[in-house]
A = this chain, B = another copy of it.
Amino acid sequence: MEQRIELAVSTVIFALRPHPVSGRDTLWLPLVRRIREPFLGRWALPGGPLEPAEDLAASARTTLRRTTGLEPSHLEQLYSFGGIDRSPDRVVSIVYWALVRPDEDARAIDGENVEWFVADEVPDLAFDHNDIVEYALRRLRAKITYSDIAHAFTGEEFTIAQLREVHEAVRQVRLDPANFRRQTLANPRIVPTGRHLTGTSHRPPALYRLETP
């Protein structure tokens, strides 16, 4: 008698929203309340079984649309978890993590049993999902320092300060505006659009965009 191994795809979805207490931008993520055993009633990462006709990334996208109604601006495989003690029945989870833009985020329509939490303050989750969230956070915070993923949180056009605020929110640090500006503009792919952001109560900052090579 052969035991069946379940194959599921889950996604850690990050968005930037103001922290309920401090008001400063922080990472949030949506969780889904389980309506079945095991872990009935507990919060868990959105996900579902892998459909035979569906790509791994496509499956993550489907989950993302179902829970947030949005397209991810960044989607990346995180890790595959297959410990034999993760769940009463053997299940291997391929986990993705995704970033969604705050401007689109406003348009988000949460599905049933979906609720957003501050990423660093999630409750006790089902399965090993607390470990997974922690791992995803570490990866995001590491990767933003050496890659372009911060732009997945900005619009097409952005000011240097907006980009800096993304870094500050994700990494939970304060960065020197002058030095950040220089280091950012050292990247030749970041070019000024010529336009400026208006409506600020001070000097209007220049708008830039990321050249797609």
Contacts and interface: CB of A to CB of B under 8 A. Distances in A.
Given A5-B52, A56-B80, 13 more contacts: A2-B52, A4-B52, A5-B7, A7-B7, A7-B92, A50-B82, A53-B84, A54-B84, A55-B84, A56-B83, A77-B79, A77-B80, A92-B94
A50 B94 contact: no
A183 interface: no
A65 interface: no
A1 B92 CA distance: 22
Interface string A74-106: 000101101110000010101000000000000
13 contacts: A3-B52, A5-B7, A7-B7, A7-B92, A50-B82, A50-B92, A52-B90, A53-B84, A54-B84, A55-B82, A55-B84, A56-B83, A80-B94
Interface of A is mostly: loop
Contacts of A3: 52
